[in-house]
Amino acid sequence: MDKINLKIYRKDPSVDEKEHYDTFEVPYVDGMVVLDAVRYVEENLDTTLAIRWNCKAAKCGSCSAEINGFPRLMCKTRIDKVGFNITVNPMGAFPLIKDLVTDVTGNWDILRKIPPFTPKELGPDQHFSMKQEDVERSKEFRQCIECFLCQDVCHVVREHYTDYFGPRHIVKAASLDMHPMDTIDRSTFLNKEGGLGYCNITKCCQEVCPEHIVITDNAIIQEKERAVDLTYDPLAMLIKGRRKKEKRVV
């Protein structure tokens, strides 16, 4: 039977000064994913290993980690795709809690700042009427499972300590901006409060997205263009000024 050579990052910052790696030998089963191997360790070899997982179906976005240096969902990464020598690290962009578990709750603070869905007023018995093609525009961004791998890989979030919200949150704002019934435009807000300008379009975020959301091209660049359009382009402002404003800018 094949064996997996699994090297796992270990540290409890409240106790340990330095991290170390433990290496485990895990039996391979056909079709196995990295989470299966890590859970094998946790259940059979070292029950003190801290991991976070939940659905094991790539639907909840809990088991994010860096597998051989690449941000991935452990539950969605097949062993036969990454090889039998595997190193698993926690996400580097977030404060460490223990071993593979990081503190991602800072993301809720950012989400709280983004102006919520602000729909058109409707009478009490009235319902929204929307076209499927209009719904489709927002749908891509709503596939986000909040695994925060895009935040993890983003070098602005990770290394520069700016106030950039990060890719996940631009996608969130875009999902609201593209809602057919929403009445506000968040691009200027993202530029002023969310550090949108810091993104220099290296497109790493869309490369790691397990939901295949084209984050940079479809969300970030769109928001950037609208922000620039609304803020700096005198010609566009002139034309827009004559046109009826569709959305309130926040």
Partner 1 sequence: MVEAYKTNECDVLIIGAGGAGMRAALAASDAGLKVIVVTKSLLGKAHTVMAEGGIAASLGNVDPDDNWTVHFADVIEEGVYISNWRMAELVAKEAPNRVFELEKFGALFDRTPDGRILQRAFGGHTYRRLCHVGDRTGLEIIRTLQDQIIHRKNVTVMDEMYITKLVLADGRVSGAIGLKMDRGEFNLFKARAVVMATGGCGRVFKVTSNSWESTGDGIGLAFNAGAVLQDMEMIQFHPTGMVYPPGVKGLLVTEGVRGEGGILYNNQKERYMERYSPKKKELDARDVVARANYAEIQAGRGTEHGGVYLDISYKGAEFVKQKLPSMYHQFMEFAGIDITKEMMEVAPTVHYQMGGIRVDPDTGATNIPGLFAAGEVACGLHGANRLGGNSLADILVFGKIVGEGATKFATSENMPGFDEQEINAEIERVKGLVHPDGLNAYKLIDELTTAMSDNVGIVRDQEHLEIALKKILELKEKYPRVSAPGGLKYNHGLLAALELGNMLIATEAIVRSAIMRPESRGAHTRRDYPKKNPEWLKNIICSKDGDGMKFDTVPVPEIPEELKKYVKPEVY
- DSSP code for 215: I
Which residues in 117-146 contact partner 1 (CB under 8 A)? 117, 119, 122, 127-132, 135, 138-139, 142-146
- Supply 72's token pair: 């991935």
179 binds partner 1 (CB under 8 A): yes
The Cα 47–Cα 146 span in angstroms is 27
Q: Which two tokens stand for residue 71?
A: 């941000």
Among 8, 26, 32, 88, binds partner 1 (CB under 8 A): 32
Among 12, 22, 193, 207, binds partner 1 (CB under 8 A): 12
Cite the DSSP H helix spans in 47-202: 79-82, 106-113, 132-142, 149-153, 155-159, 167-177, 187-193
* Dist. CA 211–CA 225, nearest whole Å: 24
> Taking CB under 8 A as the rule, does residue 183 contact partner 1?
no
Interatomic CA distance for residues 234 and 223, integer angstroms: 18
Residue with tokens 């690449």: 70
Report the nearest approach of partner 1 to the CB of residue 186 (Å).
Answer: 13
C-alpha angle with apex 186: 149 to 154, nearest 5 degrees? 20
Residues in contact with partner 1, total (CB under 8 A)?
62
Q: Does 57 bind partner 1 (CB under 8 A)?
A: yes
Q: By CB under 8 A, tell whether 70 contacts partner 1.
A: no
- Of residues 76 and 240, the one with the C-beta less far from partner 1: 76
- Rounded alpha-carbon distances, angstroms, from residue 205 to 48, 164, 199: 32, 14, 11
Would you give the binding string for partner 1 spanning residues 71-110, x where CB under 8 A is met? -----x-x------------------xxx-x-xxx--x--
Q: Is the dihedral of CA 135, 185, 211, 148 positive or negative?
A: negative
Residues 223, 250 contacting (CB under 8 angstroms): no
Exactly one of 6, 8, 26, 51 binds partner 1 (CB under 8 A); which one? 51
Contact region for partner 1 (CB under 8 A) — 24-32, 191-199, 200-208, 224-232?
24-32
Sites of contact with partner 1 (CB under 8 A)? 12, 14, 29-33, 36, 42-44, 47-62, 76, 78, 97-99, 101, 103-105, 108, 111-112, 116-117, 119, 122, 127-132, 135, 138-139, 142-146, 176, 179-180, 182, 212
